[in-house]
Amino acid sequence: MPELPEVETVRRGLALKLEGRRLVRVQQNRPDLRFPLPANFVRRLEGRRVAAVKRRAKYLLIEMDDETVLLVHLGMSGRMLVSRREGAIAEPHDHVVLETDDGWVVRFNDARRFGLMDLADRDTVADHPLLAGLGPEPLEPEFNGPGLAAALAGRSTNLKAALLDQRIVAGLGNIYVSESLYRARLSPRRRAGTVSGSRANQLVAAIKSVLEEAVEAGGSSLRDYVQTSGELGYFQHRWAVYDREGQACPDCDCNFKRTGGVRRIVQGGRSTFYCPGRQR
């Protein structure tokens, strides 16, 4: 999916179109996404003005003027497509459609339906079951070397799996874990508990720099992901290891002929990409 940089890109696009606008029409095209939509979903949103569009980890939090919060997760294939009302064409898998008082249409489109929406209250949304257990925001100062080391201490699971665990740090997914570990020169196979001190500091710095650059580039993009505007993100062109099996890594001083370049392994049923010459 959309990992943190993609969700942040979507958040910015939605904020430009939605903040301060009234939702004059809300259309719900099916009773459920990953979970059933809450009771009175349409009635609780229609006519409300959007106060703010925020983000926590990979969740979008769209706050209304009555303190209702529309919680959105894009899952693997979820998109928020923005267009003018007069040009809007309904497409398959448009599950929820929002229309603003100044003529914009936002369509939540999610073929695989791993995404979700729920309604919460502003003052208690942090305690929502989906948000309560999340770890620190990786781009905030609260995410730092000592804190990460403490969270990893004693864990025998591999470092890849630990960084995908949203309780350790919230917002990384399969692409940016591989990219961060490459930048930190740490092997995805290393035991998580062995990362402390300067290694933890380096890993935190790597995660922050990868995510910051990706946000700046407007996220990555695969075939089924577009930004709110419909344009593609550019970070995919900067992947060092993700989806680059067999190729030389960009900083290659690691004897390509011996290592065979970027290696793909499967951990927890998901692909991991790394350079065995650089990452230990």
Partner DNA sequence: CGGCAAACCTGCGAGC
Partner DNA sequence: TGCTCGCAGGTTTGCC
67: which 2 tokens? 């303190």
Asked if 223 touches DNA (CB under 7 A), the answer is yes
Minimum CB separation from DNA for residue 268, in Å?
Answer: 5
CB nearer to DNA: give 182 or 225: 225
- Least Å from the CB of residue 174 to DNA: 3
Stretch that binds DNA, among 2-10, 39-47, 62-70, 201-209 (CB under 7 A): 2-10
Question: Minimum distance from CB of 21 to DNA (Å)?
Answer: 26
Interaction of residue 155 with DNA, rule CB under 7 A: yes
Evaluated on CA atoms 53, 110, 169, 166, the torsion sign reads: positive
Q: Name which of 166, 27, 181, 40 is nearest 99 in CA terms.
A: 27
Chain positions 259 to 278 lying near DNA, rule: CB under 7 A, are 267-271
Q: Least distance (Å) from DNA to the CB of residue 66?
A: 27
Candidate ranges 20-28, 48-56, 143-151, 217-225; the one touching DNA (CB under 7 A): 217-225
If one asks whether residue 161 binds DNA (CB under 7 A), the answer comes out as yes
DSSP annotation of 277: T
In angstroms, what CA-CA distances link 58 with 13, 78, 113, 199? 15, 12, 16, 26
Report CA-CA distances (Å) from 241 to 59, 132, 175, 178, 190.
Answer: 26, 32, 9, 7, 17
Number of other CB atoms surrounding residue 76 within 10 Å: 16
Binding mask 24-63 for DNA (x = CB under 7 A): ----------x----------------------xx-----
Positions marked catalytic: 2-3, 58, 270
β-strands 94-100, 59-64 pairing: unpaired
Answer yes or no whether residue 234 interacts with DNA by CB under 7 A: no
232, 210 contact by CB (below 8 A): no
Closer to DNA by Cβ: residue 92 or 141 = 92
C-alpha 255/C-alpha 73 separation (Å) is 42
The verdict on 244 binding DNA (CB under 7 A) reads no
- Contact range with DNA by CB under 7 A, out of 39-47, 74-82, 206-214, 254-262: 74-82
Cβ-contact 210, 176 below 8 angstroms? yes
If the CB atoms of residues 1 and 106 are measured against DNA, the closer one turns out to be 1
- Asked if 116 and 75 count as a contact pair (C-beta separation under 8 A), the reply is yes
Does residue 92 touch DNA according to CB under 7 A?
Answer: yes
- Answer yes or no whether residue 217 interacts with DNA by CB under 7 A: no
CA dist 196 and 208 (Å) reads 17
Interface residues with DNA (CB under 7 A) are: 1-3, 6, 34, 57-58, 73, 75-77, 92-93, 111-114, 130, 154-158, 161, 164, 166, 172-175, 191, 219-225, 267-271
